[in-house]
Amino acid sequence: TLAALTLAASLASGTAAFAQCDPGEMTIKFSHVTNADRHPKGIAAQLFADRVNEEMNGRVCVEVYPNSTLYDDDKVLEAMLAGDVQMAAPSLSKFEAFTKVFSIFDLPFMFKNMDAVDEFQASEVGQEMKASMERRGLLGLEFWHSGMKQFSANTPLVLPEDAEGLKFRVQPSDVLIAQMEALGASPQPMAFSEVYGALQMGVVDGQENTWSNIYGQKFHEVQDGITETNHGVLDYLVVVSVDWWDGLDPAVRDDLSRILHEVTETRNAQVNEVEAKSRQAIIDAGYTVRELTPEQRAAWAATMRPVWDQFKDGIGEEKIDFAQEVNT
C-alpha cells in the first residue's frame, strides 16, 4: 500500500496518518505517543512506515498510530505481549517493570549530549541492552533519540531551590522519582497524554521533557517559562514481541530490520536539528526560555548527582564509569 496520499491528507487535517492496508498484506500497527510530523520519534516512525509501505508493498503494511490514539505507554507493552500491537518506541524510562538496565539513561547529568548517548549505545554494552527483556517476551531492535530534557514550572526556575516543594510530573521511573526528591520536590508519575491538562489545572506545577515534547504538547503555554538545564536525556527503544518477531518470514524480518536500521541512522543524525527548531519555535512564539550560567547549572548538578549513589549498585559501577568515559 502506498500511503503518500493518505499521509498528505492527514497532515493537512492534523489527524493520524493511516495507510490503507490491502487484503493479503501483513499489517503492522506501530503505536506511539508524540505528534507525527514535528517530533524526532513521530518523524522516524512515519518514515519507517512510508519506506516499508513502498519497498515492501503487497507484502507488509505499517499503520502508525501517533498521539496516544491507540495506547498510552503504560499499556502498550502489555498490548504488544497480547499481540494487539506489533511495534512501539516507548522511552527507556518506561521499561522498569521489565528490566532495570535502562536506569542509567535516567541518571541526571550522566550524558552531556545525544552524541555521548549514541556512542554509549553503539558499544557492546549498549547493544546488549536491547536483548535484556527477551525472557520477558520483548526484544529491542533499535535505539531512537529524542534529546536533552529541560525543566519548567509555573514559577521561575533558576536555582535548584526554586523547585523545592513543587509538584513535578515524571515518567514512571524510580530514578526520576529519586531525582525529584533530591530537589525537595514532589514527583507525580503520569501518562504523557495527561500532562498538559495536569499543568493547566495545577494538578502538578512543573515537568521535565525535551524541546520537541514541550513544544509539541504546548506545555510552554501553561508554564512560567522553560529553563535550559539539559539535565537528562530522553531516548527510546523500538520494541517488538519476541514471539511475533521470531514468527516472521525470515525475508520479511531481514527487510524490516534493514529499513528500520537505515531509518534509525538517518533520523538519529537529525535529532539535534529537530529539537533546536522546537526550542526556537517556543522563543518565536514569545515564551520565556531561561538560559543558565555555568555556575547556576552546576548548582542543579550538585543537588541532583547524589542520585547516582542510590542506583549505582543496581546499574553496575563499571557501566557508569564507561558512560563517563564516552561522555568526555
By the criterion CB under 6 A, which residues form the site for ligand LMR?
Answer: 33-34, 41, 91, 146, 171, 192, 209, 213, 234
The CA distance from 258 to 231, in Å, is: 33
CA 158, CA 227: separation in Å to the nearest integer?
Answer: 7
Query: Which CB, 60 or 176, lies closer to ligand LMR?
Result: 176
Query: Which residue bears the cell 536525556?
Result: 233
Minimum separation from the CB atom of position 22 to ligand LMR (A): 30
- Closest residue by Cα to residue 1 from 72, 88, 64, 69: 64
Instruction: Give the residue with the Cβ less far from ligand LMR, 60 or 237.
Output: 237
Least distance from C-beta 99 to ligand LMR, angstroms? 16
Distances (CA, A) of 236 to 51, 102, 204: 20, 10, 25
Q: For the CB of residue 281, give the shortest distance to ligand LMR in the complex, in Å.
A: 17
Q: Which residues pair with 26 in a beta bridge?
A: 60
Closer residue to ligand LMR, CB minimum distance, 18 or 219? 219
Closest distance between ligand LMR and the C-beta of residue 117, in Å? 14
Q: How far is the CB of 210 from ligand LMR (least distance, A)?
A: 7
Between 33 and 263, CB nearer to ligand LMR: 33
Q: Quote the least distance from Cβ 311 to ligand LMR, whole Å.
A: 19
- Cβ at position 168, least distance to ligand LMR in Å: 12
Question: Which residue, 1 or 213, is less far from ligand LMR as judged by CB?
Answer: 213
Instruction: Give the C-alpha separation, 33 to 96, whole Å.
Output: 18
Nearer to ligand LMR, 146 or 268 (CB): 146
Q: Among candidates 20, 40, 109, 2, which has minimal Cα distance to 271?
A: 40
How far is CA 184 from each of CA 104, 122, 143, 179, 198, rounded to the nearest angstrom? Answer: 22, 35, 32, 9, 20
CB nearer to ligand LMR: pick between 34 and 264:
34
| Residue closer to ligand LMR, measured from CB, 51 or 94 | 94
Nearest approach, Cβ of residue 64 and ligand LMR (Å): 14
